[in-house]
Amino acid sequence: MSSGVAADAARQDLRLGGFEETQLERQGLTLDTGAPVTAAVSTGTGVAAAFGDGVVRFFRPDEPPLIVEAHRGAVLCLVAEGTSGAVLTGGDDGRFLRVTADGTVEEIASFGTRWVDCVAAGPGHYACSSGRTAHVWHAGRPTARTFDHPSTVGGLAFDGKARRLAVAHYGGATVWERGERRWKSSKFVWKGSHGAATFSPDRKYLVTLMQENALHGWRLRDKADMRMSGYPAKVKSFTWIGSAPHLATSGADQAICWPFEGKDGPMGRPPDTCAYGGKQLCTAVTGLLGHDGVLAGFTDGCVLAGRVSPDGASEDLVVKGSSGTPVAALALTPEGWLFVGEEGGRVLWVRLGGKPA
């Protein structure tokens, strides 16, 4: 991400009536799609976004959005398929799909009336879940391996080399490690319902979102627990940013950023914060590894840009003004193109200022 986010003036104080439309907003593409935004991911040079009417839209610089009618119901989950530009999607029509950047739709699997709740992709592998079962494919092979779990799968994530697959469920997570001939499972126990999961970029930690207002993490080598709590609302969005790195999250009145450098990660340490939203709750975050900037969307529709700073001295910028509708999804490309999707279906596609990263 550019080191110089071009936005309107820095926020001066707590807003009373929300933020006005910014100059940056007026320079971007704004659409009212009529269907709620359910997810968005960077695909490299562009962004793919999923919607509640089954549509996937591809946004690329200086091109009109490509509209793909993929599912016969809501798109429930979305992940980028590596650097191919394609995405994998799951829907409430029971289908697991691969949608390419030219709009080609390939059905990988269909589970009938059972929803496809979660999808994941890693180098040479991809996976989805339906009910209690995770289905894992090796790229180029038609048959999936199936892994059953004690309750409905709440989240899937491969580590950076696809050597391990994390499956979140009630009571913790199961990590499946790929061997020469078979996958071996290991249990990570913590009471409660666990949702979306992510491995740290150095593959030393696993973190899950919980049904409660908290995250839970484990250090993989010794299964040491990390409870990251204190949120006023449920955490719905997280992203890895910076070189430390930090795990930036929603769920509070600002972006909460947990430090993961060192041998103990965030154990016994408070999080850093930025992008303070006053009385509004942060509903979505995005950023890039290697860059300390965070873009945070809020319940009133505004988007603020902040920077993780140990002394808290950074100044927030207003990227998008308040529309009155919560931000549902954010995605950012390495070249600084930002997608903002709202729960009501309004989207913004705009390039942040400064030189490309």
Alpha-carbon Rg of the chain, whole angstroms?
Answer: 19
Q: What is the pLDDT of residue 290?
A: 87
**Which single residue is written with the structure tokens 């059953």?**
148
Q: What is the pLDDT of residue 354?
A: 45
Q: What is the pLDDT of residue 16?
A: 59
Amino acid at 208: T
Side-by-side strand order, sheet with 282-287:
282-287, 293-298, 303-307, 317-320
On the 0-12 / 13-18 / 19+ scale of CB atoms within 10 A, 214 is middle
CA dist 155 and 119 (Å) reads: 8
The rounded average pLDDT for each run of 10 residues, N- to C-terminus, in the chain (357 residues) is 44 67 95 98 96 98 96 98 95 98 97 97 97 96 96 97 98 96 96 98 96 97 95 97 94 96 89 94 94 95 91 84 97 96 98 62
Number of H helices, E strands in the chain: 1, 30
Q: What is the pLDDT of residue 11?
A: 54
CA dist 314 and 76 (Å) reads: 36
Q: What is the pLDDT of residue 37?
A: 98
CA dist 151 and 132 (Å) reads: 5
On the 0-12 / 13-18 / 19+ scale of CB atoms within 10 A, 309 is middle
Residues contacting residue 328 through CB under 8 Å, at least 6 positions apart: 36, 37, 38, 283, 284, 297, 341, 342, 343
CA dist 258 and 312 (Å) reads: 14
Q: What is the pLDDT of residue 95?
A: 98
CA dist 288 and 305 (Å) reads: 13
Please give the distance of CA 165 from its chain centroid, rounded to a whole number: 17
Q: What is the pLDDT of residue 164?
A: 98
